[in-house]
Amino acid sequence: MISNITYMSGVKSLKEIDVTGQRVLIRVDFNVPMDAQLNISDDSRIRAALPTINYCIDHNACSITLVSHLGNPKGDYDPRFSLKHIQKRLERLLEKRVEFVEDFEASKAEIASCSLERVFLLENIRFYEGEKKNDPELSRKLGEICDVYVNDAFGTSHRKHASTYGITDYVDTCVAGFLMMKEIAAFNKALEKPMHPIALVVGGAKISSKITLLSAVMPKIDKLIIGGAMSNTFLRALGYDMQASLYEDAFVETAKQVLEDATLHKVKIYLPVDVVITNSVDHPVDVKVVPAQDVLEGFQAVDIGPATVKLFSEAIELSNTIIWNGPMGIYEIEKFSKGTYKIASAIGDCYAYTIVGGGDTADAVEKAGEKENFSFISTGGGASLELLEGKILPGFECLDRLEA
């Protein structure tokens, strides 16, 4: 039986087709982390899409339409999530004019015309309610503005959305971009014949979307190290009062199940033994380190403490494959960044094969100055966890395949 990764490696890539004179639509992942003032804090995901975009320009595609989401807007238009914030950076990186398209349906004729070599950037595709529903109407409309579809959005390839999946029903030629191929090759190296012990380090704030994956990956891993807001839900499951900490009540039972599954599969679990707490994230004056059981009333856990850093680092050091997704604390705020940066160094110092995934985690690794010390920086967080689980990601499944 071939593995999910070997199967996915068999998709047709952009290199295999001729884009000359074609109207190419590229699903990119420009979902970059931004600060409160909407400055891009890490443009790695934009840079990661450049080889594919440049290849299409170099091979005389007649128009290139870039489609992406940014954040998770609730409902329709919300200026905070506009891709307009990305346009300038993209123009600078491509050294080429990029035309921003607010409403692709209204501009359909212009995008679909093939008179000039132009690059269009569509507004956040998640402003359309059909995107996350994989709506055939939206998929068809996107299909109508191109001859060739290229998926290069690895970070969203675990989602069955109109622009990552449904569109392929309406376009004859559907291939993978270079980032997708590069990512799958790196995971192939890590997971095809992995070196044990394998440690999965998880953290971050997307608790509901990631916690359910943890039970599924249990048969594949030897150690599960949990920090960040994710660990608050687990500490709550142990019965600790987490006070004002970010955790999800609705997933406390899931956390208990994960702990049981770990025992079943003989996976070693590492949870914070101490945490950094504050009573105000915005004005962090009162900051303390306490045992995980002793979060003070009105305070919240915002980082792992020094004893936890030591514990996690030792568990990491004894691993041969390490996959990390999710920061250990609110690393964007200096006072709460120590745990994340120290774990970045601990993983970076290892002789293991090390993969980090996720927009924020990759940003944290870069800020920690550890980028060069990792074997591979993936643009996908959730996608990498689903790969580890053994799934064929929908974004690959729907593409054309190389002939046998």
Tell me the β-bridge partners of 101: 122
The one catalytic residue in 27, 141, 206, 223 is: 206
Please, what is the minimum distance in Å from the beta carbon of residue 43 to Mg ion?
15
Is position 382 annotated as part of the catalytic site? Answer: yes
Contact string 300-319 vs ligand ADP (x = CB under 6 A): -xx-----------------
Is position 206 annotated as part of the catalytic site? Answer: yes
The one catalytic residue in 166, 381, 382, 395 is: 382
* Residue 330 interacts with which of ligand ADP, Mg ion, none, CB < 5 to 8 Å by class: ligand ADP
Chain centroid to CA 257: 25
Among 130, 329, 357, 359, binds Mg ion (CB under 5 A): 359
Does position 183 interact with ligand ADP (CB under 6 A)? The reply is: no
Does position 246 interact with ligand ADP (CB under 6 A)? The reply is: yes
Is position 359 annotated as part of the catalytic site? Answer: yes
Does position 206 interact with ligand ADP (CB under 6 A)? The reply is: yes
Does position 203 interact with Mg ion (CB under 5 A)? The reply is: no
Cis ω before 194 (30° cut-off from 0): no
Torsion, CA 176, CA 179, CA 185, CA 191, rounded to 10: -100
Among 332, 360, 386, 400, binds Mg ion (CB under 5 A): 360
Ranked by CB distance to ligand ADP, the top (closest) residue is 358
Amino acid found at 1: M
Q: Which stretch binds ligand ADP (CB under 6 A): 122-130, 177-185, 186-194, 197-205?
A: 197-205
Is the distance from CB of 98 to CB of 120 less than 8 angstroms? yes
* Residue 262 interacts with which of Mg ion, ligand ADP, none, CB < 5 to 8 Å by class: none
State the helix-helix crossing angle for 44-58 and 84-94, rounded to 10 degrees.
60
Residue among 163, 156, 234, 248 at smallest CA distance from 202: 234
Contact string 349-368 vs ligand ADP (x = CB under 6 A): ---------xxxx-------
Does position 295 interact with ligand ADP (CB under 6 A)? The reply is: no
Instruction: Write out the binding residues for ligand ADP, residues 58-87 only, by CB under 6 A.
Output: none
State the helix-helix crossing angle for 207-217 and 228-237, rounded to 10 degrees.
70
* Interface contacts to ligand ADP, rule CB under 6 A: 203-206, 228-229, 246, 301-302, 325-327, 329-332, 358-361, 381
The residues carrying an active-site annotation are 45, 206, 359, 382
